[in-house]
Each structure stands twice: as structure tokens, then as C-alpha cells.
Amino acid sequence: MHLHKLTTHNFSFEAGGTLDQLEIIYHTSERPYQQGDRVVWLCHALTANSDPLDWWPEMVGEGCCVNPDKDYVVCVNIFGSAYGTTGPRDFWTPEAESQKPRIPFSFPKFTVRDTARLFTLVREHLGIEHVDLLIGSSIGGFHALEWAIMEGERIRKAAFIATAPRVSPWLSAWMEVQRMALEADPTFRACESLDGGRKGLEAARAISLISYRSFDGYNLTQYETDDDCLFASRAASYERYQGEKLIKRGFDAYSYYYLLHCVDSQNVGRHRGGVKAALAQIQAKSIVISITSDGLFPPCESSEWAKQIPNAQYFEIESRFGHDGFLLETEQITKIINSLEFRV
């Protein structure tokens, strides 16, 4: 996959505010796009980057469901990511380097719809008229749903995996408790450097991991094997490791804070007459995939809104790993996407 940067100007946000200059980072197949290429557009999840080979290697690559050598693959880095697209971290300028020091909190709040507009800017820049297959999982599914509505007939087929057209109270509560963890770190509000809020970020990330997995998932991977164990420690060690890992990946607390707010913005029905009316506008031949143990986007929710997309097919995949099943159960997902009913 090849890294690109697109610079645009005067971007206005849905919630208010503008950017004089915006840099959009995205990855594509190594070769240039040519008319007639089969275009596969991938939408990444909350803390991933725009290189799907990095975070979905069992789905993207030679011999996989999506092959960048055969398909023309595009993935755009979303607003709030720490991996290149202009975001809150770019609004921190040390006082010594500027007469008007900026802080991350001065970055405009962005919505799912704002990020979907980035996709259109990249599509137009590349000269792509139609997307043959749009795939979005988790928060990437938020963006895929929004973009499928925005782009109409330009999206020919779409797969929405472990996601929803509107944020639920349950999901919003998980976002808030993570923000509370960030705000409890005094260095977060101090904004003395981009290292501010690191301990809060570690705690927030650990909280999120619990929501991503399941009772069975933790028992399978973090169960104490010592029958005489005095104090359980494996799960605790795993939580701390995950918190530290996100920081080692280059994430900062301010980007994460904004992303959590962005999740709360998901509502495809806003100014479209409600969710049902908005989903009815999707023209892509669509599939909706939910995961049996997903506590964030349970099948009881997904099976209902899937009915509101014209002629959509609904599938459930078996997994003991909760929401993270979209990353782990790639064989089942590949089988569904490659099904004759959808592929033809």
C-alpha cells in the first residue's frame, strides 16, 4: 500500500469552525488508479491508521478477501487519528515557537459526517467515479453508512460490519467513562505538551478493551492457570499492557478525546428525517454483519436497522471475542463477502 497526502483549503465543520488548510492522509494500492479498476474502499476503526495491511492482514493482502494487487484499494485516515490527517495534535504550538500559542482544545469538534466528506475529497482527487465495494467495521462502519447515504449510486456494494447508524445510549456511556478517565489526569487539562494526559489515556484505553471483548473472550485468554493463585493478575496485566501499547503506537490523549466525541455524533438521520428515512436512501447492494457476542453493537439492534436498508442482506457470525470479532473472525467475514449473492 502506498501513502499519499492531499492538501485542501477552507474546510468547514458541521458543528462550526473552519480550517484554512487541511491535510488528508490516505493509502492506496501501489499502482496508479486507472478507469475500469475494481475499487474497494475500506473505512478503518477508531484508533487504526489508513494502511489496512497493518491492522487487517487476514482480510487485506495477497490471497485475501481484498487484494491490493488486483483491486484498487483506498483507505483514508480519519479526523482525530494520530496518524497524519490534520487533527487536534496539530493545534499544539509551544509558546516559545509562536506569539499565539495554540492548544488541542481549540481544534473544531468534528463529526462522522465531516470525515465522510474527506472520503469524497479523496475520491474526486483520484478521479474515481464509482466504488465497487465499500467496507466499514466498527467506527469505520459509521463512516461507511454515512458515506453510502451521501454518495448514493456511486457506491455499488457495501458491507457494514459490527456497527450502527446511530450511537446508542450504551455506547455513548462507554465514551463518557473514557473521557472521565482522561479528565481525571491533571496533566490532560494543563496542556503543557502532547504528552499531557498519558496516564488518563492508558486508563481510557484499558476501559475500552473491556467493552471490545466479552466474558468468554477474557476467560479464554486471561484465565489464571495456577489453581493456588492468591491474587488474580493476568487480566490486570493485560489491561495495563493495552493502555501502554496505544501510547507506544504514537497516540495522544487529545486526539483520543476528540475521537470519543466524534463517536457520539453518529446519527445518519440528522437533518434527513430520521434514521429510517436516511437508510432508505442507500442505493448500494448491502450486507450487514453482526457478531453474536458483540456487546457494543448487539445482533438484536443490527438485525432491526438492517431491514431499513433496501434489499439488504443480514448475517450473524459466531465469535466468543465480542466486538473484536470483526478483527479476528476474518474467515467468516470473507465467506460472506465472497458469497455469490453479494459478489455477483
As annotated, the active-site residues are 138, 294, 323
Residue 312: C-alpha distances to residues 218, 303, 334 (Å): 33, 10, 17
The residues that bridge with 26 in the sheet, in sequence order, are: 4, 76
CA distance 197 to 203: 10
Using DSSP's 3-state secondary structure scheme, residue 25 falls into: strand
Amino acid letter, 330 = T
Per-residue cell: 174? 462507554
CA distance 266 to 244: 28
Residue pair 276/244 in contact (Cβ under 8 Å)? The answer is no
Where would I find the H helices in 152-233?
169-183, 186-190, 198-212, 215-222
* 99 DSSP 8-state letter: S
C-alpha 130: how far from chain center: 22
Residue closest to 1 by CA, chosen among 57, 79, 65, 81: 57
Per-residue cell: 108? 473544531
C-alpha 287: how far from chain center: 18
* Length in residues, the chain: 344
Neighbour-count burial of 298, counting CB atoms closer than 10 A to its CB (0-12 exposed, 13-18 middle, 19+ buried): middle
